[in-house]
Amino acid sequence: MNGKHDLQWETVIGLETHAQLSTLSKIFSGAPTQFGAAPNVQACAVDIALPGVLPVLNKAAVEKAIRFGLAVNGKIAPRSVFARKNYFYPDLPKGYQISQYELPIVQGGSLVVDLTDREKTVHLTRAHLEEDAGKSLHEDFHGMSGIDLNRAGTPLLEIVTEPDMRSAAEAVAYAKTLHALVRWIGICDGNMQEGSFRCDANVSVRRVGAELGTRCEIKNLNSFRFLEDAINYEVRRQIELLEDGGKVVQETRLYDPDRKETRSMRSKEDAHDYRYFPDPDLLPLEVGDKWIEEIKSGLTELPRAKRARYVRDYQLSNYDAGVLTSSREVADFYENLIQALGGGYKLASSWIAGELFGALRRAGMEISQSPISSGQLAGLLQQIQNNAINGKQAKEVFDAMWNGEGEAAAIIAAKGLTQISDAGELEQVIDAVLAANPKSAEEYRAGKERAFNALVGQAMKATRGKGNPAQINEILKKKLRR
Amino acid sequence: MLNVTLKQLGLELAQKKISSVELTQLHLDRIARIDPVLNAFITIDRERSLAQARAADALIAAGKAQPLTGIPIAHKDIFCAKGWLTTCGSKMLANFVSPYDAHVVERFNACGAVVLGKTNMDEFAMGSSSETSFRGPVRNPWDPARVPGGSSGGSAVAVAARMAPAAIGTDTGGSIRQPAALSGICGIKPTYGVVSRYGMIAFASSLDQGGPMAKCAEDLALMLNVMAGFDARDSTSLARAAEDYARALDAPLHGLRIGVPQEYFGAGLDADVAVAVEAALTQIEKLGARRVAISLPNSGLSVPAYYVIAPAEASSNLSRFDGVRYGYRAPQYTDLVDMYCKSRAQGFGAEVKRRILIGTYVLSHGYYDAYYLKAQKIRRLIAQDFAKAFEQCDLIMGPTAPSVAFALGAKATDPVQMYLNDIYTVAANLAGLPAMSIPCGFGEGGMPVGLHVVGNYFTEARMLNAAHQYQRATDWHTRAPRESV
């Protein structure tokens, strides 16, 4: 987007996100929801819509929806209604999707999102429960289509925002925050490749201060990168269209990640009349205060609250606290670590964000797969706190632990890595270093700071890396006092 | 043996005067002999039925008999029964063999009853004459030139012509009661939610309710004892303690207040029907009941409201019949949309298509409020009418249908005339109330007339009590059509 556009045009974005709720069975049947099974083996009579079968609501899906509503400070509707959305498609076995229309289970709510320079509150319109459709497979059927109904009836929470976002970056920041939240509260595994978390973006542009422009909906964006690229493309397309005197047509568009462009799927004129009406097979969903209270009391500390507490109580930087609260697993790892250490907030933080994350990234692992447990890492950090080893040695121990060579203490003993903190011993070493490097000592006294570092390096080398660097620093400074 | 009650049949079986195999054989033979004319059955499977009968005989021999063990029962072809062709009277499901049992079928199987066969019906239960089945019309055994009523006409005729000791049907707007009346038998539609709809192919979900059809009220009570009960697979099934619907059969009727709505005796009611119903009311008064004049002011709105709500739900319920997974698929088509269009155009009959069109229309954007929402408001008004009426009376009685059975084809081309046949019955479905029909005499052409009884919610036992007392004092329910058919 060029600068001229930025000044004249404002982008308006609202997102609809489908989060697959991580229940064991489907929203209206007892069939399992696992991903990746052979086609149609996880579709029962209800899922394939045999004549005479009826839906029965899965309470676990409702519980997860309520948990979400509470986490975003939304209103939990005491009475919500399931409706039928009628349309024909081969992967929609009943010829209608059961969804919530006029009365959704979660109404309102908001999410605070961190942008690079500020915070932004994105308001939610609603979140409602619905069932997923199956999948049509168009390859390998010799010109025919295959239908896999394993996914049919999988519970979804559709989370709808107000048109609050003003750029692709804001939309992505919101989507990432939402993604972290649904995983944090344990309602969705967030696996975007498997389709567990996918976004539709409603995009429009307007002259700054003008009324809302005509919007286009871009469907099924299943990565943050696609979301960003699709919105940016769409904004550019709409602005160019309008600047050339054209009009934006309200329509549904698909994003093609290979060509990095959106293209029309169907216009408003071709839009389905879904003939929504309350599903007579399901009674209105009544949610009592008692149930809400029960769910509320089971809700864990949310990421923003935890982050604020880390800054306040542990004196971490806002950035570091943010890193540690990026997922529930990371926060749990951190809290287990500092509990084992009985403190060491900053040390623990820097080791997780530094060494551990680095190693995980190189190995392509999640923290839950880490070969080093929080307890093992605590064993290592204790050695640092006790001055038994220095930082360089600790990294060596860390690598050994990563490779499964055992606990920190055992590795230190096996490698003979004990740190030299004996002042007398270190003084002897330093005297020898100064005697051997008179030129460096001279330069330092003349004001060259780098000469000091060279001397520290020599002293470390003389101790074969075992010297306590802080002590060496101190002794050297004393001896070289200008 | 063909005219005895279910209780009596149970005794005969227990005393080994007849075996279930013999009883089943007897009815199967009779079906083979007379059903080619009446066309009450879509599917007969002698071997399957006789296998069940043998199993029932083993239960009886082992002293493990329950009420209805060994008794053959005809099932309306709307109930899914494992291994049985289950067509719902439609070409759309002409090849559909159900892989599972409906809740009601499970219940009968569990007590050792025998599935005697699947009965003919209006296609997808849409009709009041049993003429719209893909297998041709059902004929009335009292006069084969006339219809038996519908949509459970096959079940009604199976009982009326003594081809089955009892049958089960479903009632969305009168589909148990109206054919019971026109065929001279008894039928009850329980309170909505008493009988699970699981495995009952849906027509209009908020109105559909399964129920028994039999020769007398006592039989209905025994059947309902098996059919009723909570089922977690139907979200509208009511979790209530089990009750014995026969418990009050013998109670006297003294003090019973019978509400007679003035609206049910006005224009549109044939004189012969009015005379028979009036006589029945007088008889019930003689038994100690008191007659109370009541009003159901919104009665006139029930047919219009019904013919918005029922098609609306049906249009959606029948969307699953798309030719994709089971059922009829057109042999030739060019693409997906063409496959849908041709399969549904060829698989559904005219009345079903009419109702799908009406239902689609009333749910469409811009029409929903004017039709569907308004009909729902009327539905509440109708329920309120009944609530008020039941402050003054215990049961409401009147005619089940405005006329006796009409000639085959007489109303087939005039849907509105056909719909008006439901004028006295649909209100109970809209309100979810229990309602029944029992024979109360004969009218024009010697055709049976039905007395309609509507009770307050969950008063089935009281309704059956009133009917049973009436049947102890009269013999209309014991009359059977001549053998000649």
Q: CA-to-CA distance for A456 and A472, rounded, in angstroms?
A: 7
Please, which pLDDT band fits residue A203 given cuts at 50, 70 and 90? very high
What H or E segment, with its residue span, contains residue A217?
A: strand A216-221
Position B63, amino acid: G
Query: Among residues of chain A, what percentage have pLDDT more than 70?
Result: 98
Residue of B437, B342, B314, B27 lying closest to A95 (CA atoms): B314
Q: Show the 3-state SS of A384-404.
A: HHCCCCCHHHHHHHHHHHHCC
Distances in Å between the Cα of B409 and the Cα atoms of B132, B351, B355, B481 are: 10, 14, 19, 22
> Could you report the per-residue pLDDT of B334-362, keeping only the tens digit for each?
999 999 999 999 999 999 999 999 999 99
> Could you report the per-residue pLDDT of B407-420, keeping only the tens digit for each?
999 988 888 888 88
> Out of A88, A273, A276, whose CB is closest to B340?
A88
Q: CA-to-CA distance for B75 and B81, rounded, in angstroms?
A: 9
| Phi, psi torsion values for B315, nearest 5 degrees | -60, -35
Please, which pLDDT band fits residue A446 given cuts at 50, 70 and 90? confident
B206: nearest CA in chain A?
A: A280
Please, which pLDDT band fits residue A15 given cuts at 50, 70 and 90? very high
Distances in Å between the Cα of B328 and the Cα atoms of B94, B347, B406 are: 7, 6, 32
Position A335, amino acid: E
Length of chain A: 482
Please, which pLDDT band fits residue A482 given cuts at 50, 70 and 90? low
Q: Quick one: tokens of B197?
A: 């709809």
**Distance to chain B for A277, nearest Cα, Å:** 7
* Contact assignment for B313 to A280 by CB distance below 8 Å: yes
Position B98, amino acid: S
Q: Which of residues 107-146 of A touch B (CB under 8 A)?
A: 145
Mean pLDDT, all residues of chain A? 92
Residue keyed to tokens 């009632």: B171
**Domains by residue range for chain A, with CATH:** 3-291 (no CATH), 301-415 (no CATH), 423-479 (1.10.10.410)
Please tell me the pTM assigned to this model.
0.91
Model pLDDT, residue A35: 83
Position A234, amino acid: E
Q: Which residues of B are catalytic?
A: 76, 151, 175
Question: By three-state DSSP, how is residue B143 classified?
Answer: strand
Q: CA-to-CA distance for B280 and B44, rounded, in angstroms?
A: 37
What sign results for the dihedral spanned by CA atoms B237, B240, B244, B247?
A: negative
* Contact assignment for B236 to A49 by CB distance below 8 Å: no
| Phi, psi torsion values for B52, nearest 5 degrees | -65, -40
Question: Residue A122: how many CA atoms within 13 Å on its side-chain side?
Answer: 28
Contacts of B322 (CB under 8 A, 6+ apart): A88, A90, A95, B340, B343, B344
Q: Within chain B, which residues score under 70 in pLDDT?
A: 484-485
- Provide, as residue numbers in chain B, all residues whose Cβ is less than 8 Å from the Cβ of A275: 315-316, 360, 363-365, 368
Burial of A316 per CB tally in 10 Å (0-12, 13-18, 19+): buried
A103 contacts A76 by C-beta, under 8 angstroms: no
Q: Which of residues 259-298 of A touch B (CB under 8 A)?
A: 273, 275-277, 280-283
**Distance to chain B for A96, nearest Cα, Å:** 7
Distances in Å between the Cα of B347 and the Cα atoms of A96, A130, B327 are: 20, 30, 9
Question: By three-state DSSP, how is residue A296 classified?
Answer: helix
Q: CA-to-CA distance for B258 and B266, rounded, in angstroms?
A: 18
What H or E segment, with its residue span, contains residue B346?
A: helix B336-347
* C-beta atoms surrounding B284 within 10 Å: 26
A282: nearest CA in chain B?
A: B235
Residue of B262, B257, B369 lying closest to B308 (CA atoms): B369
**Distance to chain B for A56, nearest Cα, Å:** 6
Tell me how far apart the terminal alpha carbons of chain B are, to the nearest angstrom. Answer: 19
Look at strands A110-114 and A119-131 and give their pairing: antiparallel
* Contact assignment for A50 to B360 by CB distance below 8 Å: no
Question: By three-state DSSP, how is residue B439 classified?
Answer: strand
Sheet holding B435-442, edge to edge: B41-43, B114-119, B72-76, B166-171, B209-214, B186-189, B435-442, B448-455, B395-399, B257-261, B290-294
Residue keyed to tokens 């049961």: B395
Please, which pLDDT band fits residue A7 given cuts at 50, 70 and 90? low
* Contact assignment for B368 to A49 by CB distance below 8 Å: no
**Distance to chain A for B317, nearest Cα, Å:** 8
Model pLDDT, residue A442: 84
Model pLDDT, residue B484: 47
* C-beta atoms surrounding A286 within 10 Å: 10
Model pLDDT, residue A83: 98
Position A440, amino acid: S
* Contact assignment for A147 to B234 by CB distance below 8 Å: no
How much is the ipTM here? 0.96
Q: CA-to-CA distance for A191 and B166, rounded, in angstroms?
A: 56
Q: CA-to-CA distance for B76 and B53, rounded, in angstroms?
A: 19
> Could you report the per-residue pLDDT of A263-289, keeping only the tens digit for each?
998 877 677 899 999 999 999 999 999
* Contact assignment for A283 to B236 by CB distance below 8 Å: yes
Residue A43 has pLDDT above 90, yes or no: yes
B87: nearest CA in chain A?
A: A51
Quick one: fold of B6-252+435-478? Answer: Amidase signature (AS) enzymes (3.90.1300)
> Out of B98, B236, B319, whose CB is closest to A86?
B319
* Contact assignment for A96 to B93 by CB distance below 8 Å: no
Question: Residue B212: how many CA atoms within 13 Å on its side-chain side?
Answer: 27
Residue keyed to tokens 């919610």: B457
Angle, CA A246 vertex, CA A242 and CA A250 arms, to 5° = 85
What H or E segment, with its residue span, contains residue B438?
A: strand B435-442
Residue keyed to tokens 């919530």: A100
What does DSSP assign to residue B424? T
Burial call B44-66: b when 16+ CB within 10 Å, e when fewer: ebeebbbebbbbbbebbeeeebe
Model pLDDT, residue B485: 46
